[in-house]
């Protein structure tokens, strides 16, 4: 049955093909077909179990490195090292598990427990059934408010209209008929078909089921989602690269120290009788020290904090890594309906005429300037209207309007102008009605008591055909050719700009019924409706442009409608900037990739087109965010680097998303982008802070071994600095509020990795210079130890204190990379200040507490703090010099460095 083009067959042919009649299937036929086709259900993704969420915390490359270090420490019976590394892993696991489990529970709560039913004709009797029981050949009755349970061919239509935006992207209702249509017509224009998940907005009808379950249009999209591979996030790729680099560096460091130590005559393992440290244990300790154990916890904490910050902005992050990824977004592919727009029709403006030359345009806010014709338009739109208003007389409740979207918009406009339907109908009760039909394209009512008036609204060309006069200004005048021409030009121009036009007319003091009074009407004007932009969208798009982020509009709407919205956003659009889905099908991947940067609008798109658009941008190295609300957006949402769905979106779309906008506010996307950029900058600062210290320790020990000096620090001293003294300031960098200018910077290129040239200069060059000074100090102290009355433990205590204290100072230099530390507010990260104070006192404990002195082989210091503080000042000065060079573009030396 997949080959049958149902919309290209007559109703008689459809029923014959499906071996059914308009009286429905028999119970026996249903049982046979259920065995053949199965239940009318879509496969749904099960929520992640708590165990799977827990296991997922161990999939980071950094976790693998730390697990290896923990196992080696345990094998060597270095229980202190093992305990500290294990603690870092436990904290990381708990924070990640708690945040992702919380998001998972929130998603479960967001899912609506819907058990849709359908009115089905079985054995010539209408029965209500769960839609899961539907089979091909079933005849269903469709009424306003019903959600269609499966794909079906319309066999009877009485003004039947459906809202299909969740599938096609079009916000306006689609008229449905029984007529056979051409085979090649696109899905959005198949007016004799209805699809699973769409909603009947008006009228009634019958349809025969053609496809169920995974064979429906939604089912095909669900399969497409299932086979869509998710891309790794930029942070995942960077951390993977970083972990490989760290692992290789650790291996080289360990082997280098081991070889040098053995060459110099060190024993492999510790000699407890002599108290000599084994070179193998030292090599492992230095290697473990080179691993920034605090990084994993810091990254997890900064992502968790970002998640909470974004949640405060009304966005739910389902996957923690998406918090950082969105900061790298360089292209936003956004659906139009429900994302950029409100997803519902609103009255945009009224057109009235004072003469035959030009129209007057009124916004609803221009009420005080309305002429008589404008008031008539509103009155006609409210009276000639079948929408139902509830709570209109209750001042404690907001009115609820139910009906066709265009009629709801007219009632809403009336309420904004204090024109209430209930009050008007009391004054002008309805006597008769000609209902709207898709064939006739107009609606008429007869209202009044002793004197009665005909009110008509509908398609402009239809209403004009009923009119002989027009209300120009406040006078009724005869309609001449010039006037008709002006009116036609007005509505044709407005329609071309993406507006939906209705015309209004009236006839006063009529005698008889409606049918004999649909001529000689007075034309009052036009009402333009549209699905308007969300209020915040225009400014948000400007912000993204300023930040170097390209926005692309993808919609199922007509190109003219999409162009009107994009023009309203301030873009200049030519025909070269618009591509229709059918034209995209004709392009090869190579041709499309060459053209993709020029396209601003994609119209008449289907799910497969959206995936191609996302993939094309990704192939150019861009980080893509895809926003949407409908099932038709879901495959592309999943394929994108960051999938974003508005809170009012479908459940299938939400399951594909990384981030859900709880308030449907497009501005929340940019808030999340700025938060993501801040997070990445903070991760860089944490890595820079921890690696600068780790690398300095490695160079110091390796240099001492190369020059035949004793070990300047012990393994336990190194671990204390890395995990205790530096640990708190490192984690506190996660609370940095972000630097100025983050919103104006162009998106970073994820392929460049975490380390930029500035970081490399600080980590390697600064560390080497400081370590040369420190090694020189160590050599001089060893040389003059007898004269100074210093033991090796005393000298090592000075080095130990230097390594610990300098990091507590230069953290203030690293926290602000774009300006000198003294120009940055000191108290905008109080947690950092408290951490530095705590780190300082923790560094003093092994030096001055007697029982810790034995563990760490330290002695109390006095005047020795002067060279220690001087060294810290030198390190800060060097870091500030590097920052100055890299952030002063006019310096020739800086240009050479950046180009290197």
Please identify every residue annotated as catalytic. 335
Beta strands in 103-212 (DSSP E): 117-122, 125-130, 139-143, 151-163, 174-175, 193-194, 199-211
Task: Give yes or no for a contact between 250 and 679, defined as CB atoms under 8 angstroms apart.
Answer: no
DSSP state of 175: E
Strands 331-335 and 624-628: parallel
Residue with tokens 């659906």, as numbered in its chain: 335
* Alpha-carbon Rg for the chain in angstroms: 36
Task: Give yes or no for a contact between 569 and 332, defined as CB atoms under 8 angstroms apart.
Answer: no
Residue with tokens 């969208």, as numbered in its chain: 537
3-state secondary structure of 504: strand
SS3 content of the chain, % helix, strand, coil (to 5): 55, 15, 30
The number of beta carbons lying within 10 Å of the beta carbon of residue 358 is 11
The number of beta carbons lying within 10 Å of the beta carbon of residue 836 is 18
DSSP state of 386: -
Q: Which of 651, 658, 625, 619 is nearest to 640 (CA)?
A: 625
Task: Give yes or no for a contact between 729 and 808, defined as CB atoms under 8 angstroms apart.
Answer: yes
Q: What is the 3-state secondary structure (H, E, C) of 232-262?
A: CCHHHHHHHHHHHHHHHHHHHHHHHHHHHHH
* Ramachandran region, residue 560 (left: φ > 0; alpha: ψ -120 to 50; beta: rest): alpha
**For the purposes of burial, counting CB atoms within 10 Å of the CB of 418, is it exposed (0-12), middle (13-18) or buried (19 or more)?**
exposed
How many helices, marked H, and strands, marked E, lie in the chain?
34, 26
CA–CA distance, 179 with 289 (Å, rounded to integer):
76
3-state secondary structure of 660: strand
Task: Give yes or no for a contact between 795 and 704, defined as CB atoms under 8 angstroms apart.
Answer: no
């Amino acid at each position: 049955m997949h080959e049958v083009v149902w919309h290209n067959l007559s109703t008689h042919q459809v029923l014959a093909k499906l071996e059914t009649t308009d009286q429905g299937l028999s119970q026996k036929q249903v049982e046979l077909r259920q065995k053949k086709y199965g239940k009318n259900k879509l496969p749904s993704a099960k929520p992640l179990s708590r165990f799977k969420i827990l296991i997922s915390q161990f999939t980071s490359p950094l976790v693998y490195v730390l697990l290896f270090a923990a196992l080696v420490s345990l094998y060597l019976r270095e229980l202190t090292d093992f305990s500290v590394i294990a603690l870092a892993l436990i904290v990381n696991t708990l924070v990640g598990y708690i945040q992702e489990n919380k998001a998972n529970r929130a998603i479960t709560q967001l899912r609506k427990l819907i058990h849709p039913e359908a009115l089905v004709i079985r054995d010539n009797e209408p029965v209500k059934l769960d839609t899961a029981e539907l089979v091909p050949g079933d005849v269903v009755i469709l009424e306003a408010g019903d959600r269609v349970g499966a794909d079906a061919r319309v066999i009877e239509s009485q003004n039947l209209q459906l809202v299909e935006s969740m599938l096609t992207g079009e916000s306006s209702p689609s008229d449905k008929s029984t007529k056979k249509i051409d085979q090649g017509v696109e899905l959005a224009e198949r007016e004799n078909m209805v699809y699973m998940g769409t909603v009947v907005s008006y009228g009634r009808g019958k349809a025969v089921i053609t496809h169920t379950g995974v064979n429906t249009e939604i089912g095909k999209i669900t399969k497409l989602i299932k086979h869509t591979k998710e891309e790794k996030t930029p942070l995942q790729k960077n951390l993977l690269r970083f972990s490989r680099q760290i692992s290789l560096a650790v291996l080289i460091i360990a082997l280098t120290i081991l070889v040098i130590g053995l060459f110099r005559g060190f024993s492999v393992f510790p000699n407890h009788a002599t108290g000599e440290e084994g070179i193998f244990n030292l090599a492992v300790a230095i290697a473990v020290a080179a691993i920034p154990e605090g990084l994993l916890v810091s990254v997890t904490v900064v992502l968790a904090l970002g998640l909470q910050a974004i949640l405060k902005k009304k966005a739910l992050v389902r996957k923690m890594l998406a918090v950082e990824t969105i900061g790298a977004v360089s292209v936003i592919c956004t659906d139009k309906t429900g994302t950029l727009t409100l997803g519902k029709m609103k009255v945009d403006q009224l057109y009235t005429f004072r003469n035959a030359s030009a129209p007057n345009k009124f916004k609803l806010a221009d009420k005080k300037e309305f002429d008589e014709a404008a008031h008539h338009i509103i009155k006609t739109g409210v009276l000639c209207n079948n929408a139902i208003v509830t709570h209109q007389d209750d001042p404690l409740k907001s009115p609820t309007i139910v009906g066709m979207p265009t009629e709801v918009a007219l009632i809403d406009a009336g309420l904004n102008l204090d024109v209430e339907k209930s009050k008007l109908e009391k004054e002008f009760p309805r006597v008769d009605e000609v209902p709207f039909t898709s064939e006739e394209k107009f609606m008429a009512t007869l209202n009044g008591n002793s004197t009665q008036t005909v009110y008509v609204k509908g398609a402009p060309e239809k209403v004009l055909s009923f009119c002989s006069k027009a209300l120009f200004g406040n006078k009724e005048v005869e309609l001449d050719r010039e006037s008709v021409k002006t009116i036609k030009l007005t509505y044709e121009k407005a329609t071309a700009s993406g507006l939906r036009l209705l015309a209004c007319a009236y006839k006063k003091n009529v005698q008889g019924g409606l049918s004999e009074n649909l001529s000689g009407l007075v034309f009052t004007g036009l009402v333009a409706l549209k699905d308007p932009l969300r209020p915040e969208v225009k400014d948000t798009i400007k912000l993204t442009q300023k930040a170097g982020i390209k926005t692309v509009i993808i919609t199922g709407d007509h190109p003219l409608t999409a162009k009107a919205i994009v023009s309203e956003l301030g873009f200049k659009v030519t025909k070269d900037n618009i591509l229709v889905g059918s034209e995209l099908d004709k392009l090869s991947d190579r041709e499309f990739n060459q053209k993709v940067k020029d396209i601003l609008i994609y119209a008449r798109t289907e799910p497969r087109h959206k995936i191609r658009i996302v993939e094309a941008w990704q192939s150019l190295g861009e980080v893509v965010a895809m926003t949407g609300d409908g099932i038709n957006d879901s495959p592309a949402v999943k394929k994108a680097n960051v999938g974003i769905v508005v809170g009012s979106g479908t459940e299938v779309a939400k399951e594909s998303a990384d981030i859900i906008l709880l308030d449907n506010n497009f501005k929340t996307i940019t808030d999340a982008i700025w938060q993501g950029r801040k997070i990445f900058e903070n991760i860089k600062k944490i890595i820079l802070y921890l690696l600068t210290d780790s690398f300095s320790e490695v160079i110091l020990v390796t240099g001492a071994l190369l020059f035949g000096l004793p070990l300047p620090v012990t393994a336990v001293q190194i671990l204390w600095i890395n995990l205790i003294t530096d640990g708190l300031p490192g984690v506190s960098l996660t609370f940095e509020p972000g630097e100025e200018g983050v919103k104006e910077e162009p998106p970073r290129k994820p392929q460049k990795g975490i380390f930029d040239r500035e970081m490399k200069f600080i980590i390697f060059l600064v560390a080497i210079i400081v370590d040369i000074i420190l090694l020189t100090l160590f050599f001089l102290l060893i040389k003059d130890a007898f004269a100074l009355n210093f033991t090796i433990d005393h000298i090592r205590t000075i080095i130990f204190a230097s390594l610990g204290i300098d990091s507590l100072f230069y953290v203030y230099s690293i926290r602000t990379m774009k300006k000198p530390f003294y120009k940055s507010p000191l108290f905008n990260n109080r947690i950092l200040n408290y951490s530095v104070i705590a780190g300082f006192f923790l560094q003093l404990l092994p030096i001055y507490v007697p029982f810790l002195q034995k563990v760490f082989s330290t002695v109390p210091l006095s005047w020795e703090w002067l060279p220690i503080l001087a060294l810290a000042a030198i390190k800060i000065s060097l870091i500030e010099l590097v920052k100055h060079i890299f952030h002063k573009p006019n310096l020739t030396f800086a240009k050479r460095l950046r180009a290197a």
